[in-house]
Amino acid sequence: MKLELGKVESYIHEKLEKEKLHFVLLDPDDVSPEMAGKISEEAERIGVDAIMIGGSTGAEGEVLDEVVKAIKESSSLPTILFPGSHGAVSKYADAIFFMSLLNSTNPFFITGSQALGAFTVKRYGVEPIPMAYLIIEPGETVGWVGDAKPIPRHKPKIAAAYALAGQYLGMRLVYLEAGSGAPQPVPPEMIAIVKRVIDVPLIVGGGIRTGEQARKAVEAGADIVVTGTAIDKARSIEEAKKKLEELNRGVKLR
Ligand code: 1GP
């Protein structure tokens, strides 16, 4: 049986042939639908490649739906759900990172929540993109909520072993996550070793606040850089726009 990649996953692969990608994460618990719409419009204009929607707490139901709808109305960027659990599926989104928190100590976050959400994803026709999700120290809220055993920052080989295991289990993306708002992003040395070992695209996020940090992640081997807090926390759309431009220049090595 030949595997047919969905629309969003094909878009990711096609774009990756030309450049590194920048995804912006919007947490419906932190941004209003109005602000989410405005940020997405600017993001598309600036050259961001996709909008991820999700968060560890409160990013469900109507709150989630309204944010996804506002993004769809204001931009044509792909919308990818980044769920905290099976409750975070919106029928308005294009795709979902169907992710397994491989270094959780709780099977609920490895396969349990996935089983509870699978029928909803099918019913809504949202494109699932299988992804290995790895929490790196400090892990922040998602590490705590997800019962993770965070991978020590100075142990890149552990991250590489988990990443390769994820690929061998059939996951088509690997995400190294320091946790939203982490004081330091994933160390470049860890990104480099993981990248050397795997063949699937590598996503890196958590604690990337400056163009320089984004650039370092890409230079180390990240294929896709995710930024959230730096933009979510902007006090005005002008401030968000400036930050988006800075981060995007870093990712695109401009
Ligand atoms: C969190 O990796 C993402 O899941 C983004 O992190 O909010 O720190 O940018 P930040």
CA of 136 to the centre of ligand 1 (A): 12
Surface-to-core class of residue 56, CB atoms within 10 Å of its CB (0-12 exposed, 13-18 middle, 19+ buried): buried
CA trace torsion 42, 45, 46, 52 (10° rounding):
60
State which amino acid sits at residue 118: A
Q: Whose CA is nearest to atom 1 of ligand 1?
A: 180
Q: Relative to the CA of 231, which ligand 1 atom is closest?
A: 9
CB-side exposure of 238: number of CA atoms within 13 Å? 0
| C-alpha–C-alpha distance, residues 93 and 40, integer Å | 14
Q: How confident is residue 4, by pLDDT bands cut at 50, 70 and 90?
A: confident
Distance (angstroms) between ligand 1 centre and the Cα of 1 equals: 36
CA of 3 to the centre of ligand 1 (A): 31
Distance between CA atoms of 96 and 232, rounded to whole angstroms?
A: 20
Q: What is the pLDDT of residues 21-49, one digit of tens each?
A: 999 999 999 999 999 999 999 999 999 99
Q: In which band, very low, low, confident or very high, does the pLDDT at 232 lie, cut at 50, 70 and 90?
A: confident
Q: What is the pLDDT of residue 1?
A: 64
**Average pLDDT value for residue range 82-102:** 97
DSSP assignment string, 47-90: T--EEEE--SSS--HHHHHHHHHHHHHH--S-EEE--SSTT---
Give the atom of ligand 1 at the shortest distance from the alpha carbon of 182. 8
Longest dimension (CA), the chain: 50
> 3 vs 253, which has greater pLDDT?
253
The residue to mutate among 142, 177, 247, having the most atoms of ligand 1 within 8 angstroms of its beta carbon, is: 177
Which residue puts its alpha carbon closest to atom 4 of ligand 1? 180
Q: Which of 226, 233, 247 to mutate to test the pocket of ligand 1 (most atoms within 8 A of CB)?
A: 226
Q: In the prediction, which pLDDT does 94 show? A: 98
Which pLDDT does position 181 carry in this prediction? 96
Pairwise CA distance, residues 129 & 133, whole Å: 12
Question: What is the CB < 6 Å shell around ligand 1?
Answer: 25, 177, 180-182, 205-208, 226-230
- Please give the pLDDT value at position 98: 98
Contact 40, 242 (CB under 8 A): no
Average pLDDT, stretch 42-59? 94
Amino acid at 177: E
Mean pLDDT, to the nearest integer, of 193-209?
98
* Residue 205 alpha carbon to ligand 1 centre in Å: 5
Side-chain half-sphere CA neighbours of 86 within 13 A? 15
Give pLDDT, residue 58. 79
Q: Candidates 31, 48, 204, 229: which one to mutate for ligand 1, based on the most atoms within 8 Å of Cβ? A: 229
Q: What's the CA-to-centroid distance between 32 and ligand 1, angstroms?
A: 18
How many angstroms does the Cα of residue 25 sit away from the middle of ligand 1?
7
Q: For residue range 108-134, what is the model confidence (pLDDT) as tens digits?
A: 999 999 999 999 999 999 999 999 999
Q: 19-252 is classed in which CATH architecture?
A: Alpha-Beta Barrel (3.20)
Give mean pLDDT, residues 207-221: 98
The mean pLDDT value of the chain amounts to: 96
Question: From the CB of residue 50, how many other CB atoms can be counted at a distance below 10 Å?
Answer: 24
Distance 226 CA to ligand 1 centre (A): 6
pLDDT digits (tens, 9 = 90+) for 166-181: 999 999 999 999 999 9
pLDDT at 225: 98
